[in-house]
Structure 1
Amino acid sequence: MAKLVRRAMRSKKLTCVSIAFFLLLCQFVQLEAQLQVGFYTSSCPLAEFIVKYEVSKGFFSDRGVAAGLVRMHFHDCFVRGCDASVLIDSTSSSTAEKDSTANNPSLRGFEVIDNAKARLETLCQGKVSCADIIAFAARDSIEITGGLGYDVPAGRKDGKVSLSSEASANLPAPTFNVNQLTQAFANKGLTQEEMVTLSGAHTIGRSHCTSFTTRLYNFNATTNQDPSLDPLYASQLRQQCPKGSTIPNLVVPMNPGSSATMDSGYYMDVLANRGLFTSDQTLLTNQDTADQVNQNAMNVFLWRRKLAAAMVKMGQIGVKKDDTGEIRSNCRKIN
């Protein structure tokens, strides 16, 4: 009997050791699958510096390009993950993401990515993915507009598919209410608080009039304006975006007070009923999101820290590190 007990104890001990080893192995595999800060330290040491230089050059030529690059990263990650599929050009047989109504003509900054990629291919051919360039460029754009810099884990590969229909299906619309926004972000593994945090990036950049004019002239199929929109602000917007205008690509600043500075102006605007989109102003219709808007408005340093963390998390949505991806030699074309 004693022998049986000792044998069972030895067997149980071995089983526990095996389980512990298996768990350790799983943890190791999981860590191996993660992105890494300093991924290009050996293979292309100047990679992040070159991207930062091209972002700076683009920004000083056109200060609005920073907002475009932040938005590009967001629009890339929400469709098929952060795989640079948003950069692929359409062909005669397929309309790509960049030509969906959600991205064209509003998305910009492609020339910054192209310039960075060209320099990197000359210096480190076949080493730096377009997806990582977008992630670096978004971080640099936040930093150059006054936000906090942060480490970007890298090692993404580029996707091989880009479909306009998938952009329309995955990107939150400017007409979304708070529940729709919360669900859209939850679908990508992001919390409601991270949704409110990332929405604050609307403090920089501009919007086409077509994205919000229904709030001015035809709200809910009536001739009345959106009652949640400040009347004086609505009047100003109507002057900038006249009803029935035939002028293409009319734009207005997202945050008129400081449209090139990563500050708390967005949240202050929302509190004053001056959120430009329905998806901005809707944040006050839910107690939890309204509390977060107030908190971010009152503590810009806290929001900047939260934004940096949320950008890192968003940048890891659906990344490709295996044969499902590649490193494109030209960001606009699949190899």
Structure 2
Amino acid sequence: MEETTTNKQIAHPTTAGAALRLFFHDCFVTGCDASTLITSTPFNSAERDAEINLSLPGDGFDVVVRAKAALELACPGVVSCTDILAVATRNLVKFVGGPYYSLLLGRKDGIVSKSSLVTPTTLPKPKMTLDEMISIFAKQKFSVREMVALSGGHTIGFSHCSEFASGIYNYSTTQQYDPTYNPKLAQGLEKACSGYQKDPSLSVFNDIMTPNKFDNVYFQNLPKGWGILASDRVLFTDPRTRPFVELYAKDQNAFFSDFAKAMQKLSLVGVKTGRHGEIRRRCDAFNNNQS
């Protein structure tokens, strides 16, 4: 499995960020149960077709499908798609320079996946206020510090221009750009995203300095106004979260330690065991092929 994920990351360097985001989106909706991997049918609109999940990069799904195929050949019906997603995410984070953390295994795959379960208050969005984000994490029993540590996952991966366009194009009647942006960054984003309305897939790296390396540079960027998303920049401008940004910016070991613990905690959210789940034969379909 490790060979499969490593080969995928080498061929497609955005895979680690894609898997990390997919894992987070999966765990925060109905728990870590691979329900986000299910493909919709004429009878069921699945989680991955909820609006916020439409931008999940295909590489995240693909790496799980590849790892599942390899494992099914070796030991069919033993390892769940949920465990594969958890382990693949951990391995990919480590491969691009992040911390290693141990994982408990034995999760079952969920037997429900409905786009209607992805509500406006289920997952954090780029334009949410800090209060809204804190509330979403608190529902899953995560502290403000843990929320900031998990936000550090934006040290890899990318964001679509549509998610921050309102901050760089005619922000207000008196200002072209959101004033929390570094003006040079805003100018660069304006050029990079100029065709986003015609091409919705246009995107930029979340960490413009070291985009494919898991490190603490994301946090070093925030005091300079180099956060891509409004939900990134508010972590520095709000006094409730700024101390953690400053800590992680100067101490990568502190960030890695907190991130690893938060990921272990995330991996246990809403886990299914026993008859509450199954081990799927294919990660994109329930075994009985029904919702």
Q: TM-score, normalised by structure 1?
A: 0.82
C-alpha separation in 1, matches of 2:119 and 2:153? 21
Q: Distance in 2 between matches of 1:222 and 1:323?
A: 59
Q: Which moved more, 1:103-112 or 1:54-63?
A: 103-112
Residues in 1 aligned to 2:153 and 2:233: alpha-carbon distance in whole angstroms: 14
Offset at 1:265? 1.2
Question: Alpha-carbon deviation of 1:324?
Answer: 1.6
Q: CA distance change for structure 1 residues 272 and 324 in 2, over 3 Å: closer, same or farther?
A: same
State the SS of the aligned residue for 1:282: helix
Which residue is equivalent to 2:23? 73
**Aligned ranges for residues 4-15 of structure 1 at < 5 Å?**
none
- CA offsets, 1:39-97, max 9 Å, x none? xxxxxxxxxxx2x2211011000111110011111011001000000100011122211
Give SS of 1:229's match.
coil
The answer to whether residue 97 in structure 2 is matched with residue 146 in structure 1 is yes
Letter in 1 for 2:228: L
Say if 2:56 is the partner of 1:87. no
Q: Which residue identity does 1:100 align to in structure 2?
A: A
Structure with greater contact order relative to length (CA < 8 Å, sep ≥ 6): 2
Once the two structures are TM-superposed, the CA of residue 222 in structure 1 deviates from its matched residue by: 8.0
Partner-residue secondary structure (3-state), 2:30: coil
1:166-217 deviations in Å (ceiling 9; x for gaps):
2343111111121111111011111110000000010111111111101112
**Could you tell me how far apart the structure 2 residues matched to 1:222 and 1:107 are?**
36
Query: Which of 59, 79, 88 is the equivalent residue of 1:128?
Result: 79
Shift of 1:245: 3.8
Say whether the 8 Å CA contact 1:204–1:261 is kept in structure 2. Answer: yes
Tell me if the contact between 1:203 and 1:265 (Cα under 8 Å) persists in the aligned partners.
Answer: yes
CA distance in 1, matches of 2:196, 2:220: 30
Which amino acid in structure 1 is aligned with residue 20 of structure 2?
Answer: V
Task: Quote the residue 1:116 is aligned against.
Answer: 67
Q: Which residue of 2 aligns with 1:200?
A: 152
Give structure 2 stretches of 5+ with no counterpart. none
Alignment of 1:1-335 (within 5 A): 50=1, 52-108=2-58, 109-169=60-120, 170-219=122-171, 224-242=176-194, 245-335=197-287
2:27 maps to amino acid = C
8 Å contact 2:21–2:56 — kept in the other structure? no
Distance 1:244 1:317, change over 3 A: closer
Of stretches 135-144 and 276-285 in structure 1, the one that deviates more from structure 2 is 276-285
How many angstroms apart in 2 are the aligned matches of 1:134 and 1:102?
A: 19
Q: Distance in 1 between matches of 2:56 and 2:66?
A: 20
User: Which amino acid is the alignment partner of residue 273 of structure 2?
Assistant: K
- Amino acid in structure 2 at the alignment position of 1:153: L
Instruction: Give the Cα separation in 2 of the matches to 1:71 and 1:184.
Output: 16
Q: What letter corresponds to residue 24 of structure 2 in structure 1? A: F
Distance 1:287 1:138 in 2: 31
SS of structure 2 residue aligned to 1:67: helix
CA RMSD of aligned residues (A): 1.6
Letter in 1 for 2:22: M
Structure 1 unaligned spans of 5+ = 1-49
* Amino acid across the alignment from 2:144: Q
Q: Which residue of 2 aligns with 1:9?
A: none
Give the conservation status (yes or no) of the 8 Å contact 1:87–1:110: yes
Structure 2: distance between partners of 1:111 and 1:199: 24
Equivalent position SS for 1:217: coil
Residue 115 of structure 2 aligns with an amino acid whose one-letter code is S
Q: What SS does structure 2 have at the residue aligned with 1:327?
A: coil
Distance in structure 2 (CA, Å) of the matches to 1:86 and 1:221: 40
C-alpha spacing 1:221/1:193, structure 2 compared with 1 (3 Å)? farther
- Structure 1 residues 244 and 305: CA distance shift in structure 2, 3 A: closer
Structure 1 CA distance for aligned equivalents of residues 137 and 242 of structure 2: 17
CA deviation profile, 1:215-271 (whole Å, cap 9, x unmatched): 112547987421111111100000001166412310111111110101111111111
Report the Cα distance in structure 1 between the residues aligned to 2:173 and 2:261, rounded to whole angstroms: 40
Runs (4+) of structure 1 moved beyond 4 Å?
Answer: 220-223
